[in-house]
Amino acid sequence: MTGKRIRFLFFAVCIGGVIGAFVWAFLRVMGIAQDFVFTILPEQIHIPCFVLVVCILGGLVVGVYEKIFHASPDDMQTVMAVIKKEGKYPCDHLMIRTIGALLPLVFGASLGPEAGLTGIIAGLCFWAGRKFRYAGKHIEELSKIGLGAALGTIFGSPLFGYSVSIEEDGSASDYPKPVRMVTYIAAILGGFGVFTLLGVLLGSGASIPRLSAPDISNRERFFVIALIPAGIAAGIVYTISHAVSSRFFDALRGKCGVIVCTVLCGICLGVLGMFVPFSMFSGESQMEVLAETYLDYAPVLLIGIGIVKIFLTNVCIESGWKGGHFFPVIFAGVSIGFGMGMLCSVEPVFAAAVVTAALLGYMMKKPVEVALLLMLCFPMDAIIWILVAAAVGAVVPTVLQKEN
């Protein structure tokens, strides 16, 4: 029995390492392609409104690719729901789906890479189950381990990946729960370790930056009563913009097809990108720039940038530029938090932590996962307030649904 457990642990760690390498390669290719399109090309091709032209072209490419291959990725929640319900996930046409996940990101969409990566990695796990007899016997457990390793690596938070593994863990297994938990931790750390090592040796991919430590005083604690509602209000904006975008593009897609929708999104992305550059891309790199330059902006403008980011993320997703929403939503929360911090004259990083936590708490309704996701982005001094803000944010949607 001990030998079987060791073999299970070894196989899981190997899967974690392969996933860490795959995530690094995906994000590295994405970064190189983005740099080529938005940095190198403008130096060689001088045309007016370059960003707008590229985004319209991107909309055309994304739309045509989707019409031909139907390769747009599922969001992270859909991937997990399919695995939980059906015990499997499609593993065909993985290269086509990988390209489909990359294209919107390369052309500057306000999307995160997590949606495409989780679907592809789930597919890879089930592909391994077909090819390797041992993996096939434990395919559901290994797929959960794979998703945990992927999420822990993508977000730079192994504990967040571990919390997802625990949530998805089922009772039907050849191994007791303590053994599975140790295996999950080892696989996630293996994936994160390989990702970090490749980043050091060959250049890093995307990751959420760590912001400087705030000085929390009684003034910061008092203004939590204003910061949490600001994050909840941003969550309401996300919900409304999602509903409006969904209805609009569903109707337009039914009448005009997917290509018209993606090109229209490209126009929106290009126009907003020309006037609000922070509205483009997933947001993790822009967050570092914003943290260094936020004092150059008026507080109202920072809040406006966050709202535009939320709006544009939903436009991208619903129009057919499929991808994740976590990275851009975190950026939006940080931008709004910086603006609120300047308005209230409190430490901006603390304000960003509270606003972002309340926003994600409203959206995810899982305060502990929010805290684990954000703990490596914000200082540990703010973790209690992050948990409080996420908990309050998680309660509000439930209360609103009961009232309706």
Residue 402: per-residue pLDDT? 67
Mean pLDDT on 104-129: 83
CA distance 207 to 185: 20
Q: Are 323 and 113 in contact (CB under 8 A)?
A: yes
Judge if pTM exceeds 0.85: yes
> Residue 131 pLDDT more than 70?
no
Mean pLDDT on 220-229: 89
Using N-to-C axis directions, what is the helix angle for 326-344 and 224-256, rounded to 10°? 140
Nearest in space to 326 (alpha carbons), one of 298, 287, 289: 287
Q: Which residue has the higher pLDDT, 181 or 302?
A: 302
> Residue 176 pLDDT more than 70?
no
> Residue 65 pLDDT more than 90?
yes
Q: What percent of the chain has pLDDT over 70?
A: 87
> Residue 234 pLDDT more than 70?
yes
Residue 119: per-residue pLDDT? 82
Sign of the dihedral through C-alpha 119, 120, 122, 126: positive
Read off the pLDDT band of 165 (50, 70, 90).
Answer: low
Three-state secondary-structure class, residue 324: strand
In angstroms, the Cα distances linking 64 to 20, 37, 48, 60, 171 are 31, 19, 25, 6, 44
Mean pLDDT on 30-46: 90
Mean pLDDT on 186-193: 83
Query: Taking all residues of the chain, what is their mean pLDDT, rounded to a whole number?
Result: 84
> Residue 4 pLDDT more than 80?
no
Q: Are 353 and 341 in contact (CB under 8 A)?
A: no
pLDDT digit string (tens) for 194-217?
888 888 888 765 667 778 766 778
CA distance 262 to 255: 14
CA distance 247 to 253: 10
Read off the pLDDT band of 171 (50, 70, 90).
Answer: very low
> Residue 317 pLDDT more than 80?
yes
Q: What percent of the chain has pLDDT over 90?
A: 37
CA distance 25 to 44: 27
Mean pLDDT on 296-314: 94
CA distance 36 to 265: 21
Read off the pLDDT band of 137 (50, 70, 90).
Answer: low
Q: Determine which of 255-269, 298-312, 385-399 has the lowest per-residue pLDDT on average.
A: 385-399
CA distance 216 to 388: 15
Other CB atoms within 10 A of residue 210 CB:
14
Q: Determine which of 47-56, 131-140, 230-239, 362-371 has the lowest per-residue pLDDT on average.
A: 131-140
Mean pLDDT on 300-323: 93
Q: Which residue type, as a one-letter code, is found at position 161?
A: G
Residue 186: per-residue pLDDT? 82
Q: Token pair for residue 174?
A: 């050849």
Using N-to-C axis directions, what is the helix angle for 348-364 and 367-374, rounded to 10°? 140
Q: Which residue has the higher pLDDT, 89 or 336?
A: 336
Q: Are 188 and 148 in contact (CB under 8 A)?
A: yes
Contacts of 151 (CB under 8 A, 6+ apart): 76, 114, 118, 160, 161, 164
Read off the pLDDT band of 302 (50, 70, 90).
Answer: very high
Query: Which of 79-83, 121-125, 277-281, 299-303 has the largest mean confidence?
Result: 299-303
Read off the pLDDT band of 166 (50, 70, 90).
Answer: low
Alpha helices in 323-382 (DSSP H): 326-344, 348-364, 367-374
Residue 172: per-residue pLDDT? 46
- DSSP states of 118-167 as a string? HHHHHHHHHHHHHH-HHHHHTHHHHHHHHHHHHHHHHTT-HHHHHHHHHH
